[in-house]
Amino acid sequence: MNFENFSLDSRLWLYQTNRPLSATEISWAQEKLDAFTAEWTAHGAQLKAGSRVLNPYFVAIAVDLTQANASGCSIDASVRFLKSLGEELDVDFFNRTKIVLESEAGEQRLVPFRELANYPNEWVYNPLVDTLGKLNSAFKVKVHESALVP
């Protein structure tokens, strides 16, 4: 399910990989994500949920809160799913020690989080955005404009 028909207030979870996914892995992961979100429920209620592989480093899962809210148990189910997906892809979706930068030429790479300030004019993908509205407005920002650099 695409995010186009979701409220901008929809809850969003971003998962960053520890290496870029290949085109084949992206396609396979998107199929798995679509199947998971199509069946995702909270307390027996179907969630209006969607997912998208945003780029070779990020997976997004969203729940439109106008339909139903994800509960603790349903969020736990999504975490278990992402851990399983990561095992199958041999990637880690839960390592927060590196962050994705993008050069002016569009080249993406991982750098240690502690080195982020060394790249003030590059783009950084903010893994902390938590709504679809913020995904549209604050996901990719210049390092020197981000709140990620102390």
Q: Could you tell me what percent of the chain has a pLDDT over 70?
A: 97
Does residue 15 sit in the same domain as residue 77? yes
Q: Are residues 83 and 107 in the same domain?
A: no
Taking only the tens place, the pLDDT of each residue in 83-133 is: 999 999 999 999 999 999 999 999 999 999 999 999 999 999 999 999 999
Q: Specify if 5 maps to a domain.
A: no
Instruction: Please check whether residues 75 and 107 belong to one and the same domain.
Output: no
What pLDDT shows up at residue 18?
A: 97
Mark whether 32 and 83 lie in a shared domain. Answer: yes
Same domain, 106 and 40: no
Give residue 145's pLDDT.
86
Judgement on whether residues 70 and 23 belong to the same structural domain of the protein = yes
What value does the mean pLDDT take over residues 15-24? 97
- Determine the pLDDT at residue 41: 82
How many other C-beta atoms are found inside a 10 Å radius of the C-beta of residue 129? 20
Q: Are residues 78 and 103 in the same domain?
A: no
Query: Residue 19 domain-assigned?
Result: yes
Q: What percent of the chain has pLDDT over 90?
A: 74
Asked, for residue 84, whether it belongs to a domain, the answer is yes
Average pLDDT over residues 6-30: 96
Q: Is the dihedral of CA 93, 76, 63, 132 positive or negative?
A: negative
112 shares a domain with 66: no
18 and 36 co-located in one domain: yes
Is residue 144 predicted with pLDDT exceeding 80? yes
The answer to whether position 6 is within a domain reads no
Whether the pLDDT of residue 52 is over 60: the answer is yes
* pLDDT value at residue 44: 78
Task: Identify whether residues 78 and 108 lie together within a single domain.
Answer: no
In a domain, 138, yes or no: yes
Task: For residue 73, count CB atoms less than 10 angstroms from its CB and return exposed for 0-12, middle for 13-18, buried for 19 or more.
Answer: exposed
Q: Indicate if 31 and 78 belong to the same structural domain.
A: yes
- Domain span at 48: 11-89
What is the DSSP-derived secondary structure letter of residue 91? -
From start to end of the chain, where are the E strands?
11-16, 41-42, 45-46, 49-55, 58-63, 98-102, 108-112, 123-125, 140-142
pLDDT of residue 73: 80
Look at residue 79 and tell me whether its pLDDT is greater than 60.
yes
Spell 37-52 as b/e; 16+ CB within 10 A means b.
beebebeeeebbbbbb
